[in-house]
Amino acid sequence: MITGVLTIVFLQLCVVFGSFVPAAMAVSSLAVQTGSSGFKVRENNVHAPNLYADKIDFIATLVNLPGAKKKGSYWELSYELYFVPEDKYYEAVRRLPRGGSNPTPDQFPGRILLAEGHKKKTRLGALKERTLTLIAVDFKQKVPDAQRTKFAVLMTGYSVKIFDAELNTTVYRSGIFLTEPFETQDQNQVAARKTIYLNFGVNPDGTLNRSQSARTVSDTTWQ
Amino acid sequence: MKNLKLRLLLLCLGTVLTLGFSHAVAQACADVSAGGTVYGDFDCRLTNACGGWCYYSCTCSNLFPGYNCASVLEEAGFEIVSGPQC
């Protein structure tokens, strides 16, 4: 009998205090968000032509390869750089399956091609030889002024094939990376993005790392 | 008896293959993760895949009043990262 009454009281207290939980959650999440830089809330279609660089560089790097100095190792890369207008991007995203997916550039109609190319490198001993650089790709002039909004998207489509002669392994991967036309600098200041990075690394177990994080040219550590 | 052993062997093989396949799938990072929760919509883009981890840059929209992007992403199963990636 007493147990039953206590249970009812406990449940009623849960209902009462439960009504305060959403506010508490919001406050605690805000505290976490302040300490990290992984996400933000987007304001739609903010015209921001000042965040578009006239020219943009593209640097693709095979950062690590266990058999880089071995004869027979090679790195083959096909790439495309696109601009995707903000409204077109979110239309395409709404058509994607909910959750994770690996879309191709073809799934983003309205995209504007900025650059494309294909390269196979067989000399990979030095980091310089494992780096592919495109300088001064036309960017701003290819984007109509009305579409120069803050949260439009720069898309890198890639297809990579790497053979490591030491591991005797071939790694394949194709996919996209997406980023904004601007980059965030110190103290949350934003500025026009000047460089698009595309980094790959083969681990000793033959798995592939990939990223579009900015990196210094001489750095061989993964970041 | 022989038939039972064969069945058990096939069952074990199937289990191993299933676990192996699901592990491989779980390791692959999606290039885009987008959707919605009760708190709002999210759009996350892969920025780094290394060491068995997938790192995303996310934006949110249509937030339910009183909630923020962290609420949306936590509800969607993301962990908040503040340290170095790999």
Domain boundaries, chain A: 2-34, 49-211
Which of A35, A39, A177 has the CB atom closest to B60's CB atom?
Answer: A39
Residue B84 confidence (pLDDT): 63
- Assess: ipTM above 0.85: no
Residue A114 confidence (pLDDT): 98
**Domain span holding position B38:** 31-86
- Please identify, in words, the CATH class of the domain defined by A49-211: mainly beta
Together in a domain, B73 and B86:
yes
From residue A188, how far is each of A34, A36, A37, B42 by CA, in Å?
A: 11, 12, 9, 21
Together in a domain, B14 and B41:
no
Together in a domain, B43 and B13:
no
Residue B4 confidence (pLDDT): 59
Nearest to A81 by CA among A132, A44, A127, A40: A132
Residue A40 confidence (pLDDT): 72
Token pair belonging to B2: 């022989």
Together in a domain, B58 and B20:
no
Question: Do A41 and B47 make contact, defined as CB atoms within 8 angstroms?
Answer: no
Together in a domain, B40 and B56:
yes
Together in a domain, B74 and B44:
yes
Residue pointed to by tokens 């959750």: A99
Give me the number of domains chain B comprises.
Answer: 2
Together in a domain, B2 and B36:
no
Together in a domain, B44 and B84:
yes
Together in a domain, B38 and B62:
yes
Q: Are A50 and A190 in contact (CB under 8 A)?
A: no
Torsion of CA A149, A52, A104, B40, to 10 degrees: -40
Question: Do A33 and B68 make contact, defined as CB atoms within 8 angstroms?
Answer: yes
Together in a domain, B38 and B52:
yes
Together in a domain, B47 and B78:
yes
Question: Do B43 and A222 make contact, defined as CB atoms within 8 angstroms?
Answer: no
Tens of pLDDT, residue by residue, chain A (223 residues): 556 665 555 545 544 443 333 333 332 222 223 333 456 788 899 999 999 999 999 999 999 999 999 999 999 999 999 999 999 999 999 999 999 999 999 999 999 999 999 999 999 999 999 999 999 999 999 999 999 999 999 999 999 999 999 999 999 999 999 999 999 887 678 999 999 999 999 999 999 999 999 988 777 777 6
Q: Which residues of chain B have pLDDT under 70?
A: 1-27, 83-85
Q: How many residues does chain B have?
A: 86
Q: What angle do CA A127, A133, A139 make, to 5 degrees?
A: 155
Q: How many residues does chain A have?
A: 223
> Which of A20, A41, A183, A199 to mutate: most B Cβ within 10 Å?
A41
